[in-house]
């Protein structure tokens, strides 16, 4: 089938757009095309549609909605909700994402939960990152677009309290206020391939973000062999793997909240992760294909 993409920039390194590149690659391997200049079989809109009317089935891919009380989340959600209401189908990235959206927008009668996948083919051909001195017994890492709810300070604190004394910590992404420490290194914004190199050299990936949905960095780090350390809040635990270290938090009631003032973490509250999701992008692409096909059949029946 030929798939029209809306609100996707394949040249951007943001989470949704990097996933868009993976979807183009893996569904392309299955024989599907992504050509907006030719007649399409289905239109896939990331977050919100780029046009008002559609002559082909519209599928919305949601990676989260707004609920931060320090922002005008109702206005921010308006166009997303409009797309949600007219979409023939909705793809949620996690069970958490579905539950949150149902609470704010109401249930949708045609949806699929499809977790993000990792480009295993690319990862397998990527070399380990070996720049750092041999004096470090382990490398730990983290990566994000750093905002308060991503909890960089907690990531650093966890590393300093739980990593071996001769381990180092690599932090990717722009950081405004750096915590200086001889075992902590900042690499800034880097290309995807460089992130893979860092992940493959690391033993642990720390992502203690509050109420995150289905972070691509966690899927990628896990596929590179990292042990994931995350919070129980949100959807991160769903893709963190059965061996993940999960720090338990209080359940959120899905009411609007100041996202940029996350609660304090108690690192001693560790729980076993019951989720074990296949992270291979091949499976993810197959799930998208299946949902596109089933949605078209429903509309034709």
Q: Which residues contact 72 (CB under 8 A, 6 or more apart)?
A: none
pLDDT of the residue at 77: 98
Helix, strand, or coil (residue 263): coil
Q: Which residues contact 183 (CB under 8 A, 6 or more apart)?
A: 136, 167, 168, 169
- At residue 214, φ and ψ (nearest 5 deg) are -160, 70
Rg (CA), the chain: 20
Residue corresponding to tokens 């166009």: 79
Q: How far apart are CA 300 and CA 298, in angstroms?
A: 5
| Residue 130: band (very low, low, confident or very high) from pLDDT cuts 50, 70, 90 | low
**What is the tens place of the pLDDT at every residue in 49-106?**
988 889 999 999 998 999 999 999 999 999 999 999 999 999 999 999 999 999 999 9
Kindly report which listed range (8-17, 53-62, 164-173, 287-296) carries the lowest average pLDDT score. Answer: 8-17
Stated pTM of the model: 0.95
Q: How far apart are CA 129 and CA 46, in angstroms?
A: 32
Q: How far apart are CA 52 and CA 34, in angstroms?
A: 20
130 within 8 A of 201, measured Cβ to Cβ? yes
What are the angstrom distances between the C-alpha of 125 and each of 130, 270, 273?
Answer: 15, 34, 29
Task: Tell me the pairing of strands 42-46 and 3-6.
Answer: parallel
> Which ranges of 116-265 would DSSP assign to H, the alpha helix?
120-124, 152-162, 192-201, 216-223
């Amino acid at each position: 089938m030929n798939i029209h993409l809306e609100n996707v920039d394949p040249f951007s390194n943001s989470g949704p757009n990097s996933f868009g590149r993976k979807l183009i690659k893996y569904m392309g391997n299955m024989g599907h095309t992504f050509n907006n200049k030719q007649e399409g079989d289905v239109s896939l809109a990331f977050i919100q549609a780029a046009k008002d009317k559609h002559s082909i089935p519209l599928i919305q891919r949601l990676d989260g909605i707004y609920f931060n009380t320090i922002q005008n989340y109702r206005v921010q959600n308006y166009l997303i909700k409009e797309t949600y209401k007219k979409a023939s189908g909705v793809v949620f990235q996690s069970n958490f994402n579905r539950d949150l959206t149902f609470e704010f927008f109401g249930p949708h009668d045609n949806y699929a939960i499809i977790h993000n996948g990792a480009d295993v083919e690319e990862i397998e051909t990527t070399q380990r990152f070996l720049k750092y001195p041999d004096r470090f017994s382990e490398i730990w890492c983290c990566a994000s677009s750093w905002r308060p709810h991503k909890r960089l300070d907690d990531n650093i604190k966890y590393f300093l309290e739980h990593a071996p004394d001769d381990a180092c910590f690599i932090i990717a992404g722009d950081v405004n206020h750096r915590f200086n420490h001889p075992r902590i290194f900042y690499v800034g914004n880097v290309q995807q391939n460089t992130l893979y190199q860092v992940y493959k050299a690391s033993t642990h990936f720390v992502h203690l973000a509050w109420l995150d949905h289905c972070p691509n960095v966690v899927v990628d780090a896990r596929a590179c062999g990292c042990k994931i350390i995350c919070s129980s809040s949100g959807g991160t635990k769903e893709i963190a793997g059965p061996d993940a270290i999960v720090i338990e938090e209080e359940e959120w009631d899905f009411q609007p909240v100041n996202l940029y003032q996350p609660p304090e973490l108690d690192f001693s509250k560790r729980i076993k992760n019951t989720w074990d999701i296949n992270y291979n992008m091949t499976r993810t692409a197959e799930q998208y294909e299946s949902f596109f096909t089933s949605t078209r059949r429903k509309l034709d029946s």
